[in-house]
Every structure is written in C-alpha cells, then in structure tokens.
Structure 1
Amino acid sequence: MEPHRQGGRLHAGRLSRRSEFPDPLIDTPGVAVPRRNVVVIMSDEHDPRIMGCAGHPVAKTPHLDALAARGVRFTNAYTPSPICVPARAAFATGMRVHQTRHWDNAMPYTGDPRGWGHVLQRQRIRVESIGKLHYRAEEDPAGFDKEHIPMHVVGGHGMVWASIRDPYVSTPSAKRMLGDRVGAGESAYTSYDRCVTSRAVEWLQDAAQRRHDPFVLYVGLVAPHFPLIAPEEFFSLYPLEGLPAPKLHPSEGYQRHPWVQAYADFMKNEEQFKSPQERLEAFAAYYGLCSFLDHNVGAIVDAIAQAGLQDDTTVVYTSDHGDNLGARGLWGKSTLYQESVGIPMIVAGPGVKPAVCETPVDLLDLFPTILEGAGIDPAPKMDARPGQSLYALAAASEDPERVVFSEYHAAGSNTAGFMVRKGKWKFHYYVRYRPELFDLEADPEELDDLAGDPAFAHLVQHMEAELRRICNPEAIDALAKSDQHAMIERLGGVDVASKMGAGGATPVPKSALAEAGTAPA
C-alpha cells in the first residue's frame, strides 16, 4: 500500500478546528445507531502485566481491576510502534506507521491524515481532550473541538536529534533519559497528572448538566512514564526487598540480540544508575507510578458514575506502549519484546459483557471502537484501515490467528525493526540482522529464541511471509530514513538537528504547572 505523503508536515499552515470541505473519510454516510458517550483514558508507558487483574504478584491497581471486572480485558494487546509519537499518530488515524510516515518522535501528528476525531466533529459530536496528546501543536486541526492543557512535542518539532540514526548522535543533554532523581517524591509529571485528573473530573461534572449532548472525551495521563519519581504514598506500597527480580540481565550471562545491543549501547540507561540501591528504587517508583495512575483512573471513572453517566458511557483504558522495566538490562520502550510492545486494553460500558479476550488487538482497533461507541457505523469510514471494533471482537469467538503488527524506526535503531504476532508465534524481523521467533504459549517470557533452530525454519519463513503481506521491510526502512534525512536537511543539517529536542521526558506545559502551583522539574 502506498504510504500517505507528509511532505509539508513541519510547515503546514493552521486550519480551522472543524473543516467545512467534503472529505471521503468523514462525509461517507453510515447506519444511524443510538448515540452514547465514550471516555478514552490513555496512560504512557504502562507494561500491561503490571496490574492486579493481569496476575502480577505485587502490583496494586484496584481501580483498573474493578474496571476490568465489569468489562473486557484484552490480554494480547499491542502498540503499532513502541515509542510515543508514532504510536499516538497511529491511534489518531487508525493507520499503520508506515502508512502515515510519522516515523519517530520528531514527526508528530498534525491532523493529516484525518482521524476518528474528525469523523466525530463532522457528525457534530462534542469531542475534547484533556492532557497529553504528543501531537505537533494545539493550533493544528487534530480532531478535537478543544484541547485542555495539552502536552505536545517540544517546539513543534520534538526529538529531532534521535532522527539521526546512522550513525547515531548522543543526546543533546547531560541529563540521563530516566531523570535526574529516582525514588519517592513529586515531579512535574505527577503534578501534571493530578491537574489532568482534576480537569477531567470537572469536565464530567459539567457534562452531567448536558445529558442530551453526547460526547467523546480523551484523557491523556503521563504516568508511569519516567522520571521515575512516585508520590510517597504510592512508592511506599512497594518495599524494595519484595520486588520481583528482572529477567535475562546481561550480568548473568544473557547475550542481547545485536540489534537490541546497539539500542542499549545508544541509550545506556542501565549504566547510568548511581548504585544498586537506586536501581531497586527505580523498580519501586515504576510500580508506585502504576498505582498512582490507577488512583487517577479511579477518580475519573468514579466521576462518570457520580455524574449519572455510567449507563450511557463506554470507558476505554489503554496506553501508548509498554516499558522494558529492567528486563534484559533495558529501560524505557523501543524494543519489540512483550514488556515494551505490549499494552493494556480494557473496555467497559453499556452492552459490554465482562470477559477476558485473548484475540490479538492493537491501538488501530480503537478507531472503529470509538466511532461505534459514539453511535456511528464505522464500516464506511475504515477505507484502508486494518482495525476492527473491539465490541465485535469481544462478542465473537476468539480468533488467536488474527495478525497484529508493530514497527520501530526511531531512537537507537540503525535499521528498522518489525513485529508480527499470529497465534502463539511472535516474530521479530530486523533489517540487516537475524530474526527472532518466540512461542508465547510455551515461553511467555520470551526466554528462548527459536529462529536459529533448523526445526523452526519453516515457521520463520511463514512469519516473514506474513510480514511481507503487510509491507516490504527493506523498502519501508529506506523510506523512513529518506524522510528523516530530508527533515534533518530542511532544519539545517546534522549539526543543527543534533541539538534540537528534549534529552529526556517532554516538558509539562507551563499552564498546567501554573494551575498546579508547581515549579518545573
């Protein structure tokens, strides 16, 4: 499929919030069904296994557990790309990264191609956002009537230095990616999430006064994304001596795949811990941030109920990607292993029967799900979009053979990485490197790579064929690098680009810090 062209992404003009021009995506009529409300809550960097309802031995997430108990939890959910900006552009558009060409954290969504928000706007359904979007700028027509305290990429261009992939450049900051400090306390990110949650609760209280005005509300929380600083009340839930040990650490003899080793050498997150004690505190802080996130999700879900909207509102909880959390000596996202590429996915609301669904799904499936939840028949809107409604997938017989796909073209990778999940098999294809193959039924922790075993050669060939039905990996790798090179040249070349963008977490908007009464951290 020909990728969508984004040649003017960085220099596009500002357009009106609601376009009055015909558009085949948003003007195609659909079957009218009763309109209801949808609240989508998206966290950042939440490993789907760090929830009580997922069976984690120490995670304390009572509100997410309660949401899952009255809805459907999808146990095999994946991100289209294990890094923020591409994943969020895919979420907005329902299209794969190589279709829209939002390759990395310097190529943010601008409202082109049109997404589910634009469909809602055309149908005159109120659609607003509160919190992190990680698009280009508030002024862009990204499919929301109003964006409340949005977090977008730095300067409208994002992390440009990380687009220089072959050869790499180091980060433009002496600060480590995970943050200057690790442990208990408050950060600009925890203040931001408190502010976002408070705004969401107020918004829902106001919506209760407009009961005949259907809405879709997107809420973007940043926890458990680094900096790894958790409020004391949540950090203290996790004594250091009781935390699970990370698997496959190189200090114990594990040898990373060469593509992954190149990424680890670039990021150096593990090496930057000041002591073994600080590393332990990083685990506790991540778990604490998951519980802090859970607390905020609970406040939002409670506000829906208190507003009398629960019987008319679908709640979706998900995340943009996961986090390696020390597995293989890796921190952050950006790999194709389960910890990084997996995401939580919970849907609860009217007509949703409680269940656990093992059919593989991904963020692209939220495009038709949000439309259907809002009372719009998604079928005429899907065009080249591969997603399917989660309502339909949950109601149907489980389909373990459904193929899901992810790709990575960003920081720390000198070639593209692709993932295909089909049935019990999970396949990683790295351009110019050897592949990996895992049997997730027998080996859910991905401890044993089968790709080099002659007994599984036919499966490697089969999974690569599945990948090539979706895209030509070598051609897509070349296209991504061409787009990145063109952007770097347009911005002034490697010397200029290497100094552009944050060296760590995206800064919190000043308006939110002022509202929270917090100084930037």
Structure 2
Amino acid sequence: MLLLWVSVVAVPALAAPDPGAGGQRRGAARVWPVAPNVVLVVSDSFDGRLTFYPGSQVVKLPFINFMKAHGTSFLNAYTNSPICCPSRAAMWSGLFTHLTESWNNFKGLDPNYTTWMDIMEKHGYRTQKFGKLDYTSGHHSISNRVEAWTRDVAFLLRQEGRPMVNLIPKKTKVRVMEKDWKNTDRAVNWLRKEASNYTQPFVLYLGLNLPHPYPSPSSGENFGSSTFHTSLYWLKKVSYDAIKIPKWSPLSEMHPVDYYSSYTKNCTGKFTEKEIKNIRAFYYAMCAETDAMLDIAGAPLLQNLSGYSLLPLSSEMYKFKNLHPPWILSEFHGCNVNASTYMLRTNQWKYIAYSDGTSVLPQLFDLSSDPDELTNIATQFPEVTYSLDRKLRSIINYPKVSASVHQYNKEQFIRWKQSIGQNYSNVIANLRWHQDWLQEPRKYESAIDRWLKTPTNPKKI
C-alpha cells in the first residue's frame, strides 16, 4: 500500500503568526496577516505510525521527532487512494479520486491541469518543485498497465517479485538513494541561493521516492518494486529487538479481495520469522534515510474542493470545534485488488465496500477493539453496516463509479490489444506475470476473451 507522508514547515524568516489572528475564511481557517513561506516534503510509502509512536522506538528519526516537537502531528493519517498517481492527483487537485477519475498509475491529471501550486503562484507566490511528482502519469511499464486493466478477469497471476532485502557492500554508505539526495541538495541550494533573495513569499515542494521499495530486476524483464535496499549505516539505527511481526489472518480465512491482493504481490508463500523481521528492519532503515533528508499560505480557498483546512486543528483555540466531517473517504481502483474498493472511516468504525455493493461482501472493523483490523464483523453488526453504507452512498455513488472504472479498463485493454496486432499472444504471455502465464497460456487468454464479452457491470467474485 502506498502512503504519503507530508510535512509542512513555515520557514523561520517569515514564520506564520498565531492562527487566531486575521480574518475568517472557509472552514473557520484564518487568513495569515503576513504570507508565510511554505516547504512541503512528500515521501512515498512512509508508515505514518512512526511519526507519533512514543519515541519511534523501533528506529531513530531525529528530524521527524524535532518537527513533531515544534509542530503538529496527526494520529490518524489516510490517503485518498493508496496508490501513487491517484493519491497525488487528489493532493494536487484537491478533489476525491472519483472526481479526478485518476483510476490507476497511468491515468492521472492532465499535464495542463491547474494545481494548488498554480493557484499559489497566481496569488503572488514564487514556486519551485523538485523530485517525484507523479500526478499526471507514472513511469510504469506496459505490464503494469495491462495488470490494472485486467484485474476484473477471473484469474490469479503474480505481478510482483517476492519481497526481499539487499544490503549494499559498502558498510558506511550514507547516500543509498542517490536520486533523492540529489533532489534534496537542489532544494537546499534553491532555498539558500535563490529563495533567500525573494521579496515575495515562496512555496517549495520536494518529492522523495523513499521509503518505497526498489525495483527487482532479478524477477524478470518486466520487474516490479519489491526489494528493500539499504546499507549497514542505516540498519544500525534500527532496534531489531523492537520489531514486531504483525498478526495476519490465514489465507484460507481472508476476504477474497485481500487474498487476491496478497497473491498478486507474491506474499502467499511461506516467510520465516527471520525473513519478515529482516524485511521490516530494512524498511525502517529506509525510513531513517528519509528522515535524514529533512536537515502556511494566505491564498483564498477555492469553493469546489473535496477537502477541509487542517490549519485550525493546530491551534488550541479550535480544539473543541468540529471543523471537518466526522468521516474519511478513501478509494482504490488499481491493479492489486480485483474490485474497486471504498473505505469510510469514522471515529470507531472502518467500513469497506467493494464493486457494486452486492457482488462482493463488505467488511466492517471496530477500531476501538481491533486496531489491526483482523476481525470482520459486518454480519454481526448489520445495522452499523447498513448505516455506514448509506452514508458512503450519500458521499459517492460507488456502484456507478465501479461500473465506469470497469468500462475504462476494457476500453484501454482493447485499444492496447489492437495496437499489438498479431503479436498479441506472445506479448501478453511475457509480461511481468510470465512465470504463471506460461503454465496455462490458453486458459488465461480464454479468460480474457470471456471478460471482454461480459456486460459492463463489475464481475462477481
């Protein structure tokens, strides 16, 4: 699952004053009397729990802890869509995924789309961005695209290499993810040499790849990203004894969508306790490297955005006011689930609906007693399930959205198939899933043909 970790820092030279000053604006947020400078750092796949667990006992994150001590951290962190391009499209546009129609990593915003940074520039800000953006379309292979389009086909194919670790030979190497470090250097140099001379306020955006896993070329030509790569320098910052192995439901007891996701990510095989601990340790080491790279505005808010301002939440004077809806919406339409997925989170409950709402059974978790979400209690609490489903439908007509995604996937696949021509059978057999496909190629081609002939409505699992 992809998560975005966002840090907003007001530069001391033009630090934002008390949010209580100034005039009102939408959502009870205040207009700053002096426009602050904004530095926004976004990392990829950072576990938000590491930013608020006491002392980050499993890994040392001194810079994140410093920012937390001098700023605001949120105990509940959610993305509008747990996959790269759709989540970034939501952040840059301010709209839910079903409104941007960024269904997967290959259908993002139009390159000329007016983003929040364009609006800041229009209202007097100097802007600059470095690093990973990915809100238009990701740099993913044809294999990834076909996987996303064919997720409705009734077959199981592994799409990722088996998760693995890789320790680089040079023990003292600090700059493992060199691309991120170079972009960080560029951002710092821009702050020191250019931004310091501006008379206007500025916005700086820095997008990092870490701690997203690295590509796995050993898995074949169309490799995925399932390698956790670091050096001993960062691994020493991880407390191995503090690493916990999470509980996980047996494969036989999984919800069918969860099983599909586990299979396509190549996580259904047996992993020893040592393997799991090593993978988690390497991931935490990659988080530590991300942390080391870390050495609010008065533009009028648009009225058609999906979100609400979080600035009032950082002020004690707004502590007891309800300045945002009592729910969070997230949705997923990418390749690692075989049904469009919709999450509605309230204070106590997490409700997950799929597809058209009837062909795939929903899930309900009581987060107050089951924070790891291991026990689906949808059938035990039918009234809660019904109430949350009604609320979800009042926010988004998710059966209609699912049908739209289903139709989009078919249309894109048909266009691709026609572009391949007579070489189609050979090309599709050698995509990233080739090891599974070549065992029964006719079976899988037939499954795709049947899928193309089915009605638009999402298939039943």
TM-score category, normalised to shorter length: 0.7 to 0.9
**Contact 1:81–1:406 (Cα < 8 Å) also in 2:** yes
Greater shift after overlay, 54-63 or 494-503?
A: 494-503
Equivalences for residues 297-316 of structure 1 within 5 A: 297=294, 299=295
Q: Alpha carbons of 1:127 and 1:162: their partners in 2 closer, same or farther (altered >3 Å)?
A: farther
**C-alpha displacement at 1:53, in angstroms?**
4.6
**Letter matched to residue 463 of structure 1:** L
Q: Structure 2 CA distance, aligned partners of 1:110 and 1:440? A: 37
User: TM-score, normalized by length of structure 1?
Assistant: 0.65
Q: Which of 166, 171, 184 does residue 182 from structure 1 map onto?
A: 166
Report the counterpart of residue 48 of structure 1 in structure 2: 48
Q: Which of 354, 364, 369 does residue 430 from structure 1 map onto?
A: 354
Equivalences for residues 50-449 of structure 1 within 5 A: 50-51=50-51, 53=53, 56-111=56-111, 113-136=113-136, 152-154=138-140, 159-163=144-148, 164-167=150-153, 170=157, 176=161, 178=163, 181-183=165-167, 190-227=177-214, 228-238=228-238, 240-248=240-248, 250=250, 255-269=253-267, 271=269, 277-297=274-294, 299=295, 373-378=296-301, 381-383=302-304, 385-395=305-315, 396=318, 397=320, 399=322, 402-431=326-355, 432-449=359-376
Report the counterpart of residue 452 of structure 1 in structure 2: 379
SS at match of 2:48: coil
Q: Alpha carbons of 1:264 and 1:500: their partners in 2 closer, same or farther (altered >3 Å)?
A: same
**Letter matched to residue 146 of structure 2:** W
Equivalences for residues 489-500 of structure 1 within 5 A: 489-493=414-418, 495=424, 498=428
Q: Alpha carbons of 1:56 and 1:108: their partners in 2 closer, same or farther (altered >3 Å)?
A: same
Q: Structure 2 CA distance, aligned partners of 1:263 and 1:272? A: 16
**Contact 1:189–1:223 (Cα < 8 Å) also in 2:** no
**Contact 2:130–2:187 (Cα < 8 Å) also in 1:** yes
**C-alpha displacement at 1:398, in angstroms?**
5.4
**C-alpha displacement at 1:502, in angstroms?**
8.2
SS at match of 1:77: coil
**C-alpha displacement at 1:459, in angstroms?**
0.8
Cα RMSD after superposing both structures: 3.1
**Contact 1:86–1:97 (Cα < 8 Å) also in 2:** yes
**C-alpha displacement at 1:443, in angstroms?**
2.5
**Contact 1:86–1:104 (Cα < 8 Å) also in 2:** yes
**Letter matched to residue 152 of structure 2:** D
Q: Alpha carbons of 1:31 and 1:444: their partners in 2 closer, same or farther (altered >3 Å)?
A: closer
- 1:63-85 Cα offsets, whole Å, 9 max, x none, are 11110111111111210011111
- 1:130-158 Cα offsets, whole Å, 9 max, x none, are 11112347xxxxxxxxxxxxxx5247x89
**C-alpha displacement at 1:267, in angstroms?**
1.8
Report the counterpart of residue 479 of structure 1 in structure 2: 404
Q: Structure 2 CA distance, aligned partners of 1:100 and 1:500? A: 32
Q: Structure 2 CA distance, aligned partners of 1:126 and 1:193? A: 23
Q: Structure 2 CA distance, aligned partners of 1:55 and 1:436? A: 33
Q: Alpha carbons of 1:201 and 1:500: their partners in 2 closer, same or farther (altered >3 Å)?
A: farther
SS at match of 1:78: coil
Greater shift after overlay, 36-45 or 194-203?
A: 194-203
SS at match of 2:307: coil
Q: Structure 1 CA distance, aligned partners of 2:35 and 2:325? A: 32
**Contact 1:259–1:413 (Cα < 8 Å) also in 2:** yes
SS at match of 2:314: helix
Larger RCO (CA under 8 A, 6+ residues apart): 1
Q: Structure 1 CA distance, aligned partners of 2:430 and 2:136? A: 15
**Contact 1:436–1:449 (Cα < 8 Å) also in 2:** yes
- 1:315-360 Cα offsets, whole Å, 9 max, x none, are xxxxxxxxxxxxxxxxxxxxxxxxxxxxxxxxxxxxxxxxxxxxxx
- Point out the structure with max Rg over C-alpha: 2
Kindly tell me the number of residue pairs found equivalent between the two proteins: 374
SS at match of 1:73: coil
Q: Structure 1 CA distance, aligned partners of 2:75 and 2:261? A: 27
Q: Structure 2 CA distance, aligned partners of 1:116 and 1:405? A: 20
| Structure 2: segments with no counterpart, 5+ residues | 1-29, 215-227, 434-461
Q: Structure 2 CA distance, aligned partners of 1:278 and 1:61? A: 24
Q: Structure 1 CA distance, aligned partners of 2:189 and 2:285? A: 25
**Contact 1:224–1:289 (Cα < 8 Å) also in 2:** yes
**Contact 1:32–1:377 (Cα < 8 Å) also in 2:** no
**C-alpha displacement at 1:479, in angstroms?**
0.5
- 1:276-302 Cα offsets, whole Å, 9 max, x none, are 5443321110011111111112x1xxx
